[in-house]
Amino acid sequence: MTRLSVNINKIATLRNARGGNIPDVVEAAIKCEQFGAQGITVHPRPDERHIRYNDVRKLKPVVSTEFNIEGYPNRQFIDLVTEILPQQVTLVPDPPEAITSNAGWDTIRNKDFLTDVIRHFQLQGIRVSIFTGTEPEMIEGAAKCNTNRIELYTEPYATQYPQSAANALAPFKKAALLAQQSGMGVNAGHDLNLENLRYLVENIPFIDEVSIGHALIADALYMGLEKSIQEYLECLNIE
């Protein structure tokens, strides 16, 4: 079964809009795990516009499933991850001012940089995943960087899904198979929701993990956090 990691950035965004500590991101993470989430994902940015670096420190002792920290590997981020030692770090190529991640790594141009960062984290016992598109050369480049996993950037899949699910899926299935054949695990994330998630994992059943935040938290506004998590888990419960 593909594991569900809940990205709690949007909970922090809501808190930061008003100040104070409502909603409490630590309590939210605990509740997500109690409701069935198999991991917690955070993406701290230098401007701390959602998850703050101190949030990550507070979350470390309470996350009892799998802690995944994602972000661009500048020195501040590398130092934070090295301090926290999560089970997984996901490297994304977006600059600090980006609203959200919107592309995968150029694993050929950035091979030396990625290889060094990946080695650093692996020496700390941290599993490394890097954000990629579906281009075969970029998947092959990721393998040459010695990453443990890739995370497929699924926004193109989500955008095309309403017009043709099969066409939307095709490049992602090819990329996932290539990654698997290259010895890497496969994660997926970005714009996955209750409409398109089941089809993805039905057709790529060896996806290790999906990281979902925006849609899941938005659904929780209507159905509650527990029900929202259960609905996403149901999509992943493919026999």
Domain boundaries, the chain: 3-236
What architecture is domain 3-236?
Answer: Alpha-Beta Barrel (3.20)
Among candidate residues 66, 70, 151, 209, the one labeled active-site is 70
Taking the model in full, what pTM does it have?
0.94
In the prediction, which pLDDT does 239 show?
Answer: 58
In the prediction, which pLDDT does 102 show?
Answer: 66
What sign for the dihedral angle of Cα 222, 228, 232, 234? Answer: negative
d(CA 167, CA 195) in angstroms, rounded, equals 16
In the prediction, which pLDDT does 100 show?
Answer: 56
Instruction: Tell me which residue has tokens 């290539």.
Output: 178
**90: which 2 tokens?**
């996901």
**237: which 2 tokens?**
């419960």
Residues of the chain under the 70 pLDDT cut: 95-102, 238-239
In the prediction, which pLDDT does 99 show?
Answer: 54
In the prediction, which pLDDT does 97 show?
Answer: 59
Among candidate residues 33, 50, 190, 209, the one labeled active-site is 190
Radius of gyration of the chain (CA): 17
Measuring CA to CA, which residue among 157, 153, 209 is closest to residue 186? 209
d(CA 94, CA 7) in angstroms, rounded, equals 17
Instruction: Tell me which residue has tokens 């994992």.
Output: 201
In the prediction, which pLDDT does 101 show?
Answer: 60
Among candidate residues 43, 50, 66, 209, the one labeled active-site is 43
**Is 190 labeled as catalytic in the residue annotation?**
yes
In the prediction, which pLDDT does 159 show?
Answer: 97
